[in-house]
């Protein structure tokens, strides 16, 4: 991993890295905050944050102040990009497909499959790179995310419980086989056979595979996507059926965006810090 930039922040260091990815066959950028403890060489719990549609690693890194919370808990904070990027990477004229809209899965379909291999990137390639370069405690890695990234966090945790030891989400797309965003992306990336999609839907995954811990979801009630795209009640029902403990907090007046995430980010750090310390 090549260091692109660094800045001191809350006694630690905010870094941006670039590296060649074998999974996506592109260069990938990511942001990493290292608390003081990590700079001193101590192995640290780590929280991975997956961003939403139209975003990159930049929004959460510059907004919401994850550095403050990560420094408080002595956690490493990793914000990967939302997709492969570049002139050679296929894209779509709409914001909800293609670059910055990977949905964090491995595509099997043309023209996406050559580069859109984000599940492999996030669960096979990136952990190895992080463990090699940084004092990440491989037994204490949590994952969270927002909207498409909240879906990604739930989906990847449920599919890779050996890798992710705690999970939470902000306004996640809970039931993508049922939502417009999810169905469009799954059809493009995974093909028309809907039975294939089921292995990526958190509502179905949690019932099929369960989850050993508990799950935290925050959702704003003034969120314009609440009803049609996010459908937290479907995940609540699925967790109840599966016997998985869910804390679903519905916040009156909060929308889908930055101020909502920032307002509750401290609670998610505390949630992960508590569980990763066990």
Name the residues that contact a second copy, by CB under 8 A. 7-11, 14, 62-65, 67-68, 220, 222, 251, 253-255, 257-260, 262-263
Minimum gap (Å) between residue 254 Cβ and a second copy: 5
Minimum gap (Å) between residue 260 Cβ and a second copy: 7
Using the minimum distance from each CB to a second copy, give the nearer residue, 51 or 107: 51
Tokens 């669960």, residue located: 123
Minimum gap (Å) between residue 22 Cβ and a second copy: 31
Catalytic residue among 51, 223, 268, 272: 223
147 is a catalytic site residue: yes
Using the minimum distance from each CB to a second copy, give the nearer residue, 64 or 172: 64
Beta strands 2-9; 12-20: pairing state? antiparallel
69 is a catalytic site residue: no
User: Coil, helix or strand for 128?
Assistant: helix
Catalytic residue among 51, 147, 168, 179: 147
With a CB cutoff of 8 Å and minimum separation 6, the contacts of 198 are 177, 204
Sheet containing 12-20: which strands, arranged edge to edge? 2-9, 12-20, 27-34, 76-80, 44-50, 136-145, 166-170, 215-220, 246-251
Query: What letter would DSSP give residue 124?
Result: I
C-alpha triplet 272, 268, 200: angle, nearest 5°:
80
Beta strands 166-170; 12-20: pairing state? unpaired
Catalytic residue among 69, 115, 165, 256: 256
193 is a catalytic site residue: no
Q: Cα–Cα distance between 13 and 139 in angstroms, integer? A: 23
Minimum gap (Å) between residue 266 Cβ and a second copy: 8
Just list the catalytic residues.
Answer: 147, 223, 256
């Amino acid at each position: 991993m090549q260091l692109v930039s660094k800045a001191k922040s809350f006694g630690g260091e905010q870094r941006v890295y670039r590296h060649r990815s074998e999974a996506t066959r592109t260069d990938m950028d990511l942001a990493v905050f290292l608390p003081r403890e990590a700079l001193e060489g101590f192995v640290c719990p780590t929280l991975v944050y997956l961003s939403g549609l139209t975003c990159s690693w930049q929004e959460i890194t510059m907004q919401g102040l994850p550095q403050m919370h990560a420094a408080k808990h002595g956690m490493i904070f990793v914000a990967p990009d939302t997709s492969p990027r570049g002139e050679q990477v296929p894209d779509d004229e709409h914001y909800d497909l293609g670059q910055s809209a990977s949905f964090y899965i491995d595509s099997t379909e043309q023209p996406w499959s050559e580069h859109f291999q984000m599940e492999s990137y996030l669960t096979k390639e990136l952990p190895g790179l992080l463990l090699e370069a940084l004092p990440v405690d491989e037994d204490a890695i949590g994952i969270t995310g927002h909207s498409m990234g909240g879906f990604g966090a739930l989906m990847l945790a449920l599919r890779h419980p050996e890798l992710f030891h705690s999970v939470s989400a902000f306004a996640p797309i809970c039931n993508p086989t049922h939502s417009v965003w999810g169905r469009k992306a799954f059809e493009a990336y995974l093909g028309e056979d809907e039975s294939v999609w089921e292995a990526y839907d958190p509502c179905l995954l949690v019932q099929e595979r369960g989850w050993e811990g508990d799950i935290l979801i925050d959702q704003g009630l003034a969120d314009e996507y609440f009803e049609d795209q996010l459908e937290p009640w479907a995940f609540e029902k699925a967790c109840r059926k599966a016997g998985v403990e869910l804390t679903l907090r519905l916040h009156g007046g909060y929308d889908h965006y930055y101020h909502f995430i920032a307002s509750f980010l401290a609670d998610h750090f505390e949630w992960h810090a508590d569980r990763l310390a066990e």
